[in-house]
Structure 1
Amino acid sequence: MTNVVGYGRVSTGNQKTEGTIDVQRHEVHAYCAEHELHLLKFFGDEGVSGGLEDRAGLSQLFEFLEDVSGIKAVVIYKLDRIARDLLIQEHLLKKLSLLGVEIVSIKEPDLAGDEPVRKFTRQIMGGVAELEKAYITMRLTDGRKNKARKGGYAGGGVPFGYMTTQDGDLAVHPERAEVVRLIFKLRRRRVPMSYNAIADYLNENLIPTAQAARWYARTVKNVCENAIYRGKLTYGGNISLRPDLALTGSRQRTAL
């Protein structure tokens, strides 16, 4: 039997249109069984854009192909699972070709190779996938800007002291918010504590960061300089006042 490997990818928030990794894995297994292909391993990337070449699963795939000889093809569900950027798509297919490996798309047969018509068809499909990605990005950006204009949370990393609600907004995290209030209280003492001193204080009292790691001066500095703790949300030039998110407390200097 011909030795092959499989690859799948889904991007963040698009599982409704792309399916889950498990769906793609099932389709690849079924295709290999039907066509008497020996599937050695399946690699996948979840929550990763097709416009990026630096992906953990993709890197593992190429490392496997370089280490294991005799693999003839990479089986994918659709071409846009490999990439949603035409240049990245063709670069990856070129790298596979240099390894003596072809790409096999379940939904788009006979796309591999450098024959003019096949290559032209493949590049047209890659260009369409790139255009679709651009439209998706544009809609997401417009949606986030509109949400920001209305005072909502437009996305991004959740700052320490907050959590996301079911509808995607920000809310105060009860326990971590107390740590943030403590940091601002220490900075507002009659003799303010330095960022280093505050970090040492938190570590000595076994108060962890969101990732259960140590505090550092720069971490404390980032908290003190982030406008969100004063109830200001910013996105794309929009500034919204959210008193319900303010964690700085009174501006009056207090001693511990």
Structure 2
Amino acid sequence: MVGSNRVQRLKRKAGIVASERAVVVNKAVGYIRVSSTEQAEHGFGLATQEAAIRAFATSQGYELIEVVTDAAVSGASRPAERDGFRRVIELAEDGAFSVLLVWKFDRLARQIVYAVTAANDLQEQHGVQLRSVTEPIDTATAMGRTVFAILAGMAEQERQVITERTFLGRQEKATRGGYACGAVPLGYVTDREGGLAPDAESAVTVRRIFAMRKEGATLQAIASALNGDGIATSRGGRWWPATVRYILDNPKYRGDSEYLFRWNGDEKHVQRTGTHAALID
């Protein structure tokens, strides 16, 4: 099964990101965090952490492209819940760097399970290695990997249970034709069961796009018409040819469900008749 153009583009993008990682092998991002209590009582504030990271990057020959900050944020929170660390993830998804520098390992999180999970996800999903400026935790070296493996073992069971439950649950829902994950497509809203239900107002825009395309309108012409009428995209922005193409190539509007799942190097393409109502014939 070949799949839609959307899936083919996702596969091509994965290949491009892999090639780009070779280019960013010496590029690093610094991550600093401090709670208000730590700043007041211990003095190892943001400026101290950043200075140490910059000095370390210079000594190791890294190009430090950005230092991301979470100020007055408790280490008890999950990294992915913080605005700053979400920026780190965003840069990792773009393949912008290969090494994450922290002042100490506990800057990721106080709870070891949160810290190890965040570091493992960066390495497994985006090829980003972790280095601590003040501790022998460098996942690019044998010693660092040994230390990291010990810490990872402590959190592995809980991490695997959470990850596998979420991942397998999404796959199972997708194989049944359900709405498994991702942004809600224009023209739909979520129902009480977590599925997709037609949204009367925005569905009009979707049907208009398909009707104009069927009549021979170009992608640019459709985008210009929607912008001219003051109709915003699902994110509230302007329409572009690529935005229109994304709508036209979305199988959900024909009543189908399609997902490309990736985890730990495995890839599974799921394409089924969806449980939701189609918006077009």
TM-score scaled by structure 1? 0.58
Q: Matched residues in 1 for 2:72 and 2:112: separation?
A: 16
* 3-state secondary structure, aligned to 1:234: strand
Please, what is the CA RMSD of the aligned residues? 4.4
1:230 is matched with 254
* 3-state secondary structure, aligned to 2:72: strand
Q: Matched residues in 2 for 1:81 and 1:239: separation?
A: 34
Alignment of 1:1-256 (within 5 A): 6=33, 29=37, 32=38, 36-38=41-43, 40=45, 41-43=71-73, 45-47=79-81, 54-55=88-89, 74=107, 76-84=109-117, 85=119, 92=130, 94-97=131-134, 123-130=149-156, 132-189=158-215, 192-235=216-259, 236-242=268-274, 244-249=276-281
Cα offset for 1:204? 0.7
2:116–2:151 Cα contact (<8 Å) kept: no
Distance 1:220 1:75, change over 3 A: closer
The amino acid of 2:271's aligned partner reads I
The amino acid of 1:124's aligned partner reads I
Cα offset for 1:149? 2.8
Distance 1:158 1:167, change over 3 A: same
Cα offset for 1:81? 3.0
Cα offset for 1:231? 0.4
Q: Matched residues in 2 for 1:238 and 1:91: separation?
A: 31
Cα offset for 1:123? 3.9
Deviations along 1:162-192, one digit per CA (max 9) or x if unpaired, are: 2223432122222211100111111223xx2
1:199–1:217 Cα contact (<8 Å) kept: yes
Cα offset for 1:247? 1.1
2:20 is matched with none
Unaligned runs of 5+ in 1: 8-24, 66-70, 104-110, 112-118, 250-256
Distance 1:211 1:228, change over 3 A: same
Q: Matched residues in 1 for 2:80 and 2:108: separation?
A: 17
Q: Matched residues in 2 for 1:210 and 1:133: separation?
A: 34
Q: Matched residues in 2 for 1:230 and 1:56: separation?
A: 31
The amino acid of 2:42's aligned partner reads L
1:6–1:76 Cα contact (<8 Å) kept: no
2:178–2:275 Cα contact (<8 Å) kept: no
Greater fraction helix: 2
2:101–2:133 Cα contact (<8 Å) kept: no
Cα offset for 1:144? 1.6
* 3-state secondary structure, aligned to 2:116: coil
Distance 1:134 1:225, change over 3 A: same
Unaligned runs of 5+ in 2: 1-31, 46-70, 92-96, 138-144, 260-267
- Identity rate, percent: 29
* 3-state secondary structure, aligned to 1:233: strand
Q: Matched residues in 2 for 1:201 and 1:165: separation?
A: 31
Cα offset for 1:56? 7.0
* 3-state secondary structure, aligned to 1:175: helix
Distance 1:47 1:220, change over 3 A: same
Q: Matched residues in 1 for 2:80 and 2:132: separation?
A: 22
Cα offset for 1:55? 3.6
Q: Matched residues in 1 for 2:183 and 2:222: separation?
A: 23
TM-score scaled by structure 2? 0.53
Cα offset for 1:36? 4.4
Distance 1:46 1:173, change over 3 A: farther
1:6–1:39 Cα contact (<8 Å) kept: no
1:145–1:154 Cα contact (<8 Å) kept: yes
Aligned residues: 194
